[in-house]
Amino acid sequence: MDLDERIKLITSVGEEVVTMPELKQLLEEKRNPIAYDGFEPSGLAHLPFGVYRALLLKDLVKAGIRFKIWLADWFAWINNKMGGDLEKIRHVGEYFIEVWKAAGVPTDKVEFLWASEAMDSVEYWERVVRIAKNTTIARATRALTIMGRREGEMKEVAQYFYPMMQVADIFHLEADITQLGLDQRRANILAREVGPKLGWWKPVVISHHMLMNLEGAAEPEGFDEEKGFDVQISSKMSKSKPSSSIFVHDTEDEIRSKVMSAYCPPKEAIGNPLLDYANHIVFRGFDSITVERKTKFGGDIDFTSYDQMEKAYIAGDLHPLDLKNTMATYLDQMIDPIRSHFEKKKSAVQMLELVKKYQITR
């Protein structure tokens, strides 16, 4: 794969790349640059985590990226996930790894690391303090939204450690690229600001799209200064809101029921979650999509690109009910390998049952 092909594949993962010239220079200088993403172990896997993230990881690996997945157990503890129980958090992290394996993430090419294993390192905490010394209180407060919480929800001083630790992670992991969701861009941009000041590097930031929840777009809630990004973050599918989410353990009937109830206004693409899934998940997993319709409604129709589908939908040539039926079918196909893995493999079954017993907390 030549340089242009690698850049095209990597940038297809990102909703925003900061910056393109820096990415090109990085790829010219390093054949296998390091990228990382961090995950708080926090409940059952949903569509963005189990299916979408796996698709992005596979493309990045294909482009020659060495990927490090940071299982952020201490971060989940600070953020009071799983009731702040570190043992439960660890169990959920192990379940996360099993989900990625079931989704086909090439585990021989992706490194899984635990944040807690860095916590005994004096060097790690020195980084945290040095970053904090170069960050104003106002800047740190703005960055707290990476926790999925607004300023008024913060109750503990420990929560102010969170963005400082996340920035430290980037340099601890020697990451050339931060490849996280748009909801984490404030921490990543902070890393670009403080890195050179401390004699480190300026990581390339590739922020991926936030999949919309089933209820459609929400009003901006102040998670980002950029309004377009803020809408995405405020509208994202969240495990903590199960009624508006699709999970990788949902049955075919449950998926279809949720999709059929989803917000899907006719002839409207903006704020339409079903078109969002078509664009970012289904067309990434399939070269074409077939909409099955009765002859009296025009018969079957094939789409080889998302743009084709969107134009047909806006023009009224694709009915919302046909879009819903189609998305339910394809999403179920993409979820099925993960769901089946957790139904058939004994250790995975036990792992899932354990996680289901835990109280999911925000």
**Residue 287, domain member (yes or no):** yes
In a shared domain, residues 61 and 154: yes
Long-range (24+ apart) CB contacts under 8 A made by 242-247 are 243/214, 244/213, 244/214, 244/215, 245/46, 245/47, 245/213, 245/214, 246/46, 246/47, 246/214, 246/331, 246/335, 247/44, 247/45, 247/46, 247/47, 247/50
**Residue 222, domain member (yes or no):** no
The whole-number average pLDDT for the span 75-88 is: 88
The CATH number of the domain holding residue 322 is 1.10.240.10
**What's CA 184's distance to the chain center, in Å?**
10
Task: Tally Cβ neighbours within 10 Å of residue 197.
Answer: 11
pLDDT grade for 227, boundaries at 50, 70 and 90: confident
**Residue 173, domain member (yes or no):** yes
Tell me which of 164, 185, 207 is where a domain ends: 207
Q: Phi/psi at 73 (nearest 5 deg)?
A: -65, -40
The whole-number average pLDDT for the span 190-198 is: 96
Residue 153 has a pLDDT of: 64
| 120 or 179, higher pLDDT | 179
Residue 20 has a pLDDT of: 97
Q: How many domains does the chain have?
A: 2
Packed helices 320-344 and 86-102: angle between N→C axes, nearest 10 degrees: 110
The whole-number average pLDDT for the span 31-58 is: 94
The whole-number average pLDDT for the span 12-38 is: 95
**Residue 302, domain member (yes or no):** yes
Q: Phi/psi at 112 (nearest 5 deg)?
A: -100, 125
In a shared domain, residues 201 and 271: no
Residue 260 has a pLDDT of: 97
Handedness of CA 101, 104, 106, 112 (dihedral sign): negative
**Residue 342, domain member (yes or no):** yes
Would you say residue 362 has pLDDT above 70? no
Would you say residue 304 has pLDDT above 70? yes
In a shared domain, residues 130 and 183: yes
In a shared domain, residues 203 and 254: no
The CATH number of the domain holding residue 105 is 3.40.50.620
What is the value of pTM for the model shown? 0.90
The whole-number average pLDDT for the span 116-127 is: 93
Determine whether 232 is exposed, middle or buried from the number of CB atoms within 10 Å of its CB (0-12, 13-18, 19+). Answer: buried
In a shared domain, residues 197 and 326: no
- The residue segments making up the domain with residue 60 are 3-207
The whole-number average pLDDT for the span 250-259 is: 97
**Residue 231, domain member (yes or no):** no
In a shared domain, residues 168 and 82: yes
Task: For the chain, give the longest Cα–Cα distance.
Answer: 70
- Coil vs helix vs strand at 143: helix
Would you say residue 361 has pLDDT above 80? no
Residue 58 has a pLDDT of: 94
- Coil vs helix vs strand at 17: strand
Task: Tally Cβ neighbours within 10 Å of residue 128.
Answer: 17
**Residue 223, domain member (yes or no):** no
In a shared domain, residues 47 and 127: yes
In a shared domain, residues 259 and 187: no
Tell me which of 192, 207, 222 is where a domain ends: 207
In a shared domain, residues 90 and 13: yes
| Number of residues in the chain | 362
- To the nearest whole number, what is the mean pLDDT of the chain? 92
**Residue 186, domain member (yes or no):** yes
In a shared domain, residues 79 and 158: yes
In a shared domain, residues 110 and 245: no
In a shared domain, residues 144 and 244: no
